[in-house]
Amino acid sequence: MDSLKYLLGVLFENDITIGDRVRRDDRKQLVAKSRHNPFTGKIAILVDSNSASAAELLARIVQIEKRGPVIGDHSSGSVMEAEPYRYQTGFNVVAVFPYEWPKQ
């Protein structure tokens, strides 16, 4: 999500609302803040059936904002956000699962 926010920030002159992050107990609006000296030209987005998650969101936002065409096949329709956990098990064999470090 951080990469998508950054990319949208350098592509658009104004702040862009990506959507709402809905959880069981709260709802938070996701906004990409505009960065210094954004790209103002036309953008062409190419998608296929393997395009998923942030790629789908980028294509849809470019399409809604009328910044350029979205070309290709249907995307996979799997816009989701994962929440990684760190877990370690075993004595000699250690299996480590991905973990997102807390933001400073």
Q: How far apart are CA 51 and CA 4, in angstroms?
A: 14
C-beta separation of 68 from 45 below 8 A: yes
The per-residue pLDDT for range 29-67, each reduced to its tens digit, is 999 999 999 998 999 999 998 888 889 999 999 999 999
CA distances in angstroms from 84 to 26, 57, 71, 78, 96, listed in the order given:
19, 20, 32, 17, 11
pLDDT (mean) for 82-101: 63
- How many other CB atoms are there within 10 angstroms of residue 9's CB atom? 17
Task: Report which DSSP code applies to 24.
Answer: S
Architecture of the 2-96 domain: Alpha-Beta Complex (3.90)
Average pLDDT over the chain, rounded to an integer: 84
C-beta separation of 13 from 34 below 8 A: yes
Name the token pair of 71. 């070309």
Q: How far apart are CA 84 and CA 97, in angstroms?
A: 8
